Amino acid sequence: MLTQLKGGHVVDPANDRDGVGDVFIEDGHVVEAPGEGRRPDEVIDCTGLIVMAGAIDIHSHIAGGHVNTARLLLPEFHRAHQARPALTPLGQVGWTTEETGLRYAAMGFTTVVEPAMAPQSALHAHMELADTPIIDKATLVVLGNDDLLMRMIRDGESEAAIEDYVAWTVSNSRALGVKCINAGGSAAFKENVRKFDFDDVVPDYGVSSRRIVKTLQGAVNRLGIPHPLHVHCNNLGVPGDSAASIEATIKAAEGLPLHLAHIQFYGYGAEGSRKFSSQGQHLADLVNSTREVTVDIGQVMFGPTVTISSDELRQFAGRGQASPKKSIIMDHEGNGGGVVPMEYKQKSYFNALQWAIGLELFLLIEDPTRVFFTTDHPNGAPFTTYPDIFALLMDRGVRQRWLDALPKSVVKMTTLPEIEREYTLKEIATMTRAAPARLLGTPDRGHLGKGAVGDVAVYRPGEDKAQMFGRAAYVLKDGQLVVKDGAVVRRTFGRTLTLRPEPDKAMVKRLDRYFDESYGLPSRWFEVPDHALGRENPFKVMPCRT
């Protein structure tokens, strides 16, 4: 069936389109305009509307053990939700896999990446993702605190051997890339270390955080994994120390691609009477001058949420700030983790300055192809706050109204009132469509050129940008209309994007021995087979760089 989206304002930076035109979709993909004599089977009138590719979220915690632990810890946060089909029994309350997919789709998002999947619980994460409707998904697998990797680095094993281990982990866990969370920090935590810097050394292993990051960065690059190593730096949220940690990590990129996660949590100085200040300008300058580095923000928004992280050292340190006063800290193989509920308050000096620092970074980092739109859902805020953040970025008047409601002491500590920049629709489309697709190595999405998947988001323009981006007029997923006027009208299931790099067979045999000796299990127990997910063709394999 040939579908025509007719007469809309097409904003497609990847193909240099920014004007009125048509988009044609057939068999789930964008195609060129048909020749004379052929009429479309379906026409969607987009006159006066904004047409973009489906949005991509590169960093959102939507599946896995920590997410489910948060659901168990905080039942009072969830409201009863619609009944689920019998074959998808992963919960019956709000913020389930079901509602996650529907809410993302209603805003025009069609691809979402879960950025912190533990290798040992990959099957569980993928079962949840297969249960999430409409959107395509992907995962980043976590390495950097695991025993075998640190042993290999300590013992001076070859680059080829480490590459084979990384390739096996990515392939068997069905991931799209690699995440490193406070490299060595969780392993050090097990030895009662409570502060761990970039050049500190993990007890018993004798390897530093820097060496772990550089080893993984090199392996990811040599394997041709398109997405750079995705790094959660040391000392998250610690005034002064966090800024020093991210600066050291940025300088350690040394010409190779590196992606730094939720950098708002590292923009904290220790100046002023409260020992908490903004390093937003300095951090933005570092990013602007280091072209090999990309970042996502982790914007804070006001209201209750929950922090979930595999950085157990930092979650343990922050458990005293829990609101309500309960938390869970987990210590297990490789990275452990923690769940700590949080409420960001508009009248709090500290929370309000966190909010301002995130926006400073969004607005002061100059290149929209290198800064990515996230709240580190749910850590900075739920993803349902995205429409308000779009409005804050696109309208200086909206920012000023929010600033007027903040404590005066905060306004004095931020450059936000002086920043005049307002994001354009083209910059929004770049940051949330074209650039994420390029960063992830998924050339089949993020644009509306020939051959792209038929993922399209159509919006009604207006002065209220939050309303515009909160309720898409139309969303097509793989060419099928799934959302109309902000309501889901068709419930489909996307696929999970994955890589399949091939490790050397000798590494596979070695891992069989390692897992048998360490856990009494064969390595196949850590594989994610297609048949376990209960869906036809649950994965789509993306290419590695050659």
pLDDT at 368 over 80: yes
**Domains of the chain with bracketed CATH:** 52-497 (3.20.20.140)
Residue pair 46/20 in contact by the 8 Å Cβ criterion? no
pLDDT at 264 over 70: yes
Write the pLDDT tens digit of every residue in 40-57: 999 999 999 999 999 999
pLDDT at 489 over 90: yes
Residue 162, phi then psi, degrees to nearest 5: -65, -40
Residues 194, 198, 200, 206, CA torsion sign = positive
Q: What is the rounded distance in angstroms from the CA atom of residue 288 to the CA atom of residue 292?
A: 10
pLDDT at 147 over 70: yes
What residues contact 16, with CB distance under 8 A and at least 6 apart?
A: none
Q: Mean pLDDT check: name the lowest of 337-346, 410-419, 490-499, 516-525.
A: 516-525
Q: Cα–Cα–Cα angle for 307, 313, 318, nearest 5°?
A: 45
Residue pair 311/115 in contact by the 8 Å Cβ criterion? no
Tell me the residue length of the chain.
546
Q: Mean pLDDT check: name the lowest of 1-10, 378-387, 515-524.
A: 515-524
pLDDT for res 89: 37
pLDDT at 315 over 60: yes
Write the pLDDT tens digit of every residue in 444-465: 999 999 999 999 999 999 999 9
Write the pLDDT tens digit of every residue in 41-99: 999 999 999 999 999 999 999 999 889 888 888 877 655 434 444 443 333 334 689 99
CA-closest candidate to residue 87, choices 136, 134, 138, 130: 130
Q: What is the rounded distance in angstroms from the CA atom of residue 374 to the CA atom of residue 535?
A: 29
pLDDT for res 78: 58
pLDDT for res 95: 65
Q: Mean pLDDT check: name the lowest of 167-176, 274-283, 470-479, 520-529.
A: 520-529
Strands (E) in 333-439, as ranges, are: 337-344, 371-372
Write the pLDDT tens digit of every residue in 285-302: 999 999 999 999 999 999
Biggest CA-to-CA distance, the chain: 74
pLDDT for res 538: 96
pLDDT for res 85: 46
Write the pLDDT tens digit of every residue in 210-255: 999 999 999 999 999 999 999 999 999 999 999 999 999 999 999 9
Q: What is the rounded distance in angstroms from the CA atom of residue 16 to the CA atom of residue 290?
A: 26
pLDDT for res 76: 73
Q: What is the rounded distance in angstroms from the CA atom of residue 477 to the CA atom of residue 27?
A: 11
Mean pLDDT computed over 121-125: 95
Query: Buried b vs exposed e over 228-250: b needs ≥16 C-beta within 10 Å?
Result: bbbbbbbbbbbbbbbbbbbbbbb
pLDDT at 501 over 70: yes
CA-closest candidate to residue 263, choices 380, 178, 177: 380
